[in-house]
Copies of this chain bind each other. A is one copy, B any other.
Amino acid sequence: MQKIKFETDYQEGAHPKILERLLAANLEQTSGYGVDSHCENAKNLIRKVIGKSNAEIFFAVGGTQSNTIAIKFLLNPCEGVISVQSGHINVHESGAIEATGHKVITLPHHNGLMDANDLKNYLKKFYADPTWPHMTPPGMVYVSYSSEYGTLYTKEMLTKIKAVCNEYKLNLFIDGARLGAGLMSSAADMNIKDIANLCDAFYIGGTKNGALFGEAIVFPKPEKFNFRLMTTLIKQQGGLLAKGRLLGLQFEVLFEDDLYFENAKHADIQAMKIKKAFTEAKIPFLFESFTNQQFPILTQEQHKKLSSEFDYETWEPLENNKIAVRFVTSWATTDDNVDRLVKAIKAL
């Protein structure tokens, strides 16, 4: 029998409303490559929800693509992108950024987050060194919301990072693969308008929040950039979907009735039940997360028991033969599956 999966937030298909809409529009004829009314409509819905009526928005199929496209767009060919060590672009994208010629310049992470002081100190030291042109000049800053470890920047933290960026003329880009789970978290003190205000570009992750696939790359301050070659860049990076309206259709559904936020809310609620169960079982966590990723630290015995019934990711071996693992919930995580997991945790 197949185990119940808590491996990722992309192990099921799409929210039924999205499939319905794909079915309904299936035989419509539209032009290719995103030049269609669904994409236009989806962009307008996003513009409205982020409170930026002139935002430039581009759709891409996946997260690595979105990061690569946005970063290549925002950097001079000689520059690097600053990220914390644990940043997705530094760890889990197979060197895609470097494949476009750019160095990922790393700062230490603090529970997956960048500290504005680390950033400032790095930049001060960098430009204090007269040999800086022989190093890799930073051109932008990359952060994730929510982070790869499920943690969240407060508005104050992000505001400080943006201030440093402004001082050094760096663009700030937010990887929003799990933006929904971040914003809907009980620990969040920001909404999507704050995100749009605080950065120069971000992407709204659809893949991990109820879409079949798809991310929306948003430039809330379009007056800062020249987008003339953006379609070419996206095509060149393999990110221009022929049947582009599939992306528009999905984002229409996600943003016309708050489905995007409801999906994320659901994922977070399910995760909090699991968090509660581990906490009550006195099982510690590798990171304190209030979003849809939970990183309990298990003994080998606990791991053996849970893994007989559930699939989840083993994250990192720790001292004393313990092991950190990862449970992820999504829009599709059922109450029933969570209940079974909670029960299994209680039985440890």
Provide the main secondary structure of the chain A interface: loop
Q: How far apart are the CA atoms of A170 and B10 in the complex, in Å?
A: 34
7 smallest beta-carbon distances between A and B, as pairs: A13-B26, A65-B238, A95-B136, A133-B231, A94-B235, A5-B29, A98-B103
Q: How far apart are the CA atoms of A305 and B4 in the complex, in Å?
A: 60
**At the interface, yes or no: A30 with Cβ under 8 Å from chain B?**
yes
Contact with B along A84-102 (1 / 0, CB 8 A): 0000000111111011111
**At the interface, yes or no: A135 with Cβ under 8 Å from chain B?**
yes
Q: A236-B96, A238-B64 are in contact. Are A77 and B77 (CB under 8 A)?
A: yes
Which residue from chain B places its CB closest to the CB of A6 in the assembled complex? B29
Q: Could you say which of B32, B63, B72, B96 contacts A7, with CB atoms under 8 Å apart? A: B32
Closest beta carbon of chain B to A342's beta carbon, Å: 18
Contact with B along A216-237 (1 / 0, CB 8 A): 0000000000000101110111
**At the interface, yes or no: A78 with Cβ under 8 Å from chain B?**
yes
**At the interface, yes or no: A320 with Cβ under 8 Å from chain B?**
no
Q: Is the CB of B13 within 8 A of A135?
A: no
Count, chain A residues at interface, CB 8 A: 76
Interface residues of A (CB under 8 A from B): 2, 4-5, 7-8, 10-14, 16, 19, 22-23, 25-33, 61-65, 68, 72, 76-80, 91-96, 98-104, 128, 131, 133-137, 207-208, 212-213, 229, 231-233, 235-243, 246, 311, 317, 332
Closest beta carbon of chain B to A216's beta carbon, Å: 16
Q: How far apart are the CA atoms of A101 and B239 in the complex, in Å?
A: 17
Copies held by the complex: 4
Inter-chain contacts of A242 with B (CB < 8 A) = 8, 10, 62-63, 207-208, 213
Name which of A27, A92, A99 has the most chain B CB atoms within 10 A of its CB. A99
Q: Could you say which of B10, B62, B237, B243 contacts A207, with CB atoms under 8 Å apart? A: B243
Inter-chain contacts of A30 with B (CB < 8 A) = 5, 11
Inter-chain contacts of A231 with B (CB < 8 A) = 133-134
Write 12 A-B pairs (CB below 8 A) sorted by A numbering. Answer: A11-B31, A62-B240, A63-B242, A65-B238, A78-B229, A95-B101, A95-B136, A98-B103, A133-B229, A134-B231, A207-B242, A213-B243
